[in-house]
């Protein structure tokens, strides 16, 4: 059935995920949803120095929010911060240098952040698509370390802070590519068989959807959501998917169009009227599985994913915090 899922996903993508799909969907948006003042609320955006992360951070800053930029590259992050401050006039922009593929760094950051700041909204945007199997210094496959384990640790480490605030939210930027993947807990670090970076990335994004659903069940007073930004013209797409970019570059969404639903989920009152744990595209909750596709996972597999990630998380927490 994989050929069917891939074909349906690509046709769906050509129709909905491109710039034309956004322009069509946006005709039904209510501009007032995001015309809000969020002064006094604190937002953390990972992967915020470029692409969808920077576009999201900039729009939140325009609305008066306090924005924490979590980035890996210090030089690029400082340029992004300066751009956001200059364009928005918002001085409440803070920079934190953290490698999301390094679980020990995340734990150290989260412990320090909890002691110094409050947090209303966490936006898990950082991600990577490495096309050859690479291991981090901790021996973790890099895509898994960044997209899945990094997202898991950042979120769970900051849950106590989010629990303290009213109207707290967690938004994770996933991908429609996850529609072609069924959760596979037997090879989380892609160590067996041929390595296909695109499919590994898609599997990680399916894992993010499962994480969101599980968190929503466990933490009722936080609103969790996961979303697909569409096919956007970002530095990550250009570097990780050069062939796809060349073929589709004239049809790709802008960074701001890709970020629109992230912003809507982060600031609008309408978003939290919908159930926690849903998958979104263009400000609408959409199915997390294609029609007739065998991508649903068992409760046992979903619980196993959470158990394995928690084991990893606690191992690196004990190392990083002594």
HSE toward the beta carbon, residue 268, CA cutoff 13 A: 21
Whether 152 sits among the annotated catalytic residues: the reply is no
CB 181 within 8 A of CB 295: yes
Tell me which of 4, 17, 201, 245 is the catalytic residue.
201
pLDDT at residue 1, rounded to an integer: 47
Q: What is the mean pLDDT of residues 161-177?
A: 95
CB neighbours of residue 137 within 10 Å = 10
Q: What is the mean pLDDT of residues 133-148?
A: 96
CA distance 23 to 27: 7
CA distance 298 to 306: 13
* Mean pLDDT, the chain, integer: 92
pLDDT at residue 207, rounded to an integer: 98
The torsion region of residue 25 among left (phi > 0), alpha (psi -120 to 50) and beta comes to alpha
Assigned CATH topology for domain 3-315: Rossmann fold (3.40.50)
On the question of pLDDT at 165 being above 70, the answer is yes
CA distance 118 to 164: 9
Q: How many whole angstroms from its chain centre is CA 65?
A: 19
Q: What is the mean pLDDT of residues 304-317?
A: 96
On the question of pLDDT at 318 being above 90, the answer is no
| Domain residue ranges in the chain | 3-315
pTM of the model: 0.95
CB 267 within 8 A of CB 34: yes
Q: What is the mean pLDDT of residues 141-166?
A: 97
pLDDT at residue 3, rounded to an integer: 58
CB neighbours of residue 93 within 10 Å = 22
Per-residue confidence band for 11, with pLDDT thresholds at 50, 70 and 90: low
More confident residue, 294 or 90: 90
Q: 81 vs 89, 175, 216, CA distance in Å?
A: 11, 26, 32
pLDDT digit string (tens) for 124-135? 999 998 989 999
Output 294-298 pairs: Cβ under 8 A, ≥24 positions apart: 294/1, 294/182, 295/5, 295/179, 295/180, 295/181, 295/182, 295/183, 295/206, 296/182, 297/182, 297/183, 297/210
On the question of pLDDT at 36 being above 70, the answer is yes
Tokens of 162: 């989010």
* Pairing between β-strand 278-281 and β-strand 168-173 as defined by DSSP bridges: unpaired
pLDDT at residue 293, rounded to an integer: 78
pLDDT digit string (tens) for 260-274? 999 999 999 999 999
The DSSP bridge partners found for residue 93 are: 67
Q: Which string of b and e fits 148-181 if b means at least 16 CB within 10 Å?
A: bbbbbbbbbbbbebbeebeebbbbbbbbbbbbbb
pLDDT at residue 322, rounded to an integer: 65
Question: Among the listed ranges 114-128, 168-182, 221-235, which one has the minimum average pLDDT value?
Answer: 221-235
Q: Is the Cα dihedral 317, 108, 169, 264 positive or negative?
A: negative
């Amino acid at each position: 059935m994989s050929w069917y899922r891939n074909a349906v996903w690509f046709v769906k993508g050509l129709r909905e995920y491109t710039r034309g799909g956004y322009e069509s969907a946006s005709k039904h948006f209510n501009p007032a949803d995001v015309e809000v003042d969020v002064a006094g609320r604190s937002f953390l955006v990972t992967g915020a120095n470029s692409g969808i992360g920077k576009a999201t951070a900039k729009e939140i800053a325009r609305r008066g929010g306090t924005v924490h930029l979590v980035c890996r590259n210090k030089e690029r992050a400082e340029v992004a911060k300066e751009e956001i401050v200059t364009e928005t006039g918002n001085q409440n922009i803070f920079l934190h240098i953290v490698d999301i593929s390094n679980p020990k760094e995340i734990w150290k950051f989260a412990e320090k952040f909890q002691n110094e700041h409050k947090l209303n909204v966490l936006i898990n945007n950082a991600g990577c698509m490495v096309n050859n199997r690479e291991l981090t210094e901790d021996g973790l496959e890099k895509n898994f370390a960044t997209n899945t384990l990094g997202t898991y640790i950042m979120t769970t480490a900051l849950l106590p802070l989010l629990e303290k605030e009213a109207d707290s939210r967690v938004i994770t930027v996933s991908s429609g590519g996850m529609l072609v993947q069924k959760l596979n807990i037997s090879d989380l670090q892609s160590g067996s068989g041929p390595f296909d970076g695109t499919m590994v990335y898609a599997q990680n994004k399916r894992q993010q959807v499962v994480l969101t659903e599980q968190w929503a069940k466990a933490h009722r007073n936080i609103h969790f959501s996961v979303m697909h930004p569409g096919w956007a013209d970002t530095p990550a797409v250009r570097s990780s998917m050069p062939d796809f970019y060349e073929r589709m570059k004239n049809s790709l969404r802008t960074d701001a169009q890709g970020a629109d639903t992230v912003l809507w989920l982060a600031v609008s009152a309408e978003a939290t009227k919908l159930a926690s744990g849903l998958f979104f595209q263009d400000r609408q909750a959409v199915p997390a599985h294609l029609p007739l596709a065998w991508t649903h996972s068992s409760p046992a597999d979903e619980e196993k994913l959470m158990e394995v990630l928690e084991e990893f998380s606690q191992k690196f927490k004990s190392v990083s915090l002594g």
